Amino acid sequence: MEVNLTPDAQTKLEEMARASGRGSDELLEDAVIGLYDELAFARQTLDRRFDDLESGRVKPIPGDEVFARPRARSAARRAGHR
């Protein structure tokens, strides 16, 4: 497979390869595999959460409450430090 990088990305990859003593191809392969693993994990997590919502095992939190909770905690912390 051929990968086309921008000149800036190519320079960074080559610098990292020199600094680590590893080959550019090896670093690039590791990066792609790592990204794939992270995306696969995120996809599995989201699939499980959607399954939980669809089955009723968990209940969704209304959007306004999602933002209100951390704001309330932050306000409580600020009030406690005065």
What is the tally of structural domains in the chain? 1
10, 8, 36: which is closest to 25 by C-alpha?
A: 10
Over residues 12-52, the pLDDT tens digits come to 999 999 999 999 999 999 999 999 999 999 999 999 999 99
pLDDT at res. 45: 97
- Domain-embedded: residue 2: no
- The answer to whether residue 5 scores a pLDDT higher than 80 is yes
Range of the domain at 22: 7-80
- The answer to whether residue 82 scores a pLDDT higher than 70 is no
pTM above 0.85, yes or no: no
- Domain-embedded: residue 1: no
Distance, CA of 52 to CA of 70 (rounded, Å): 24
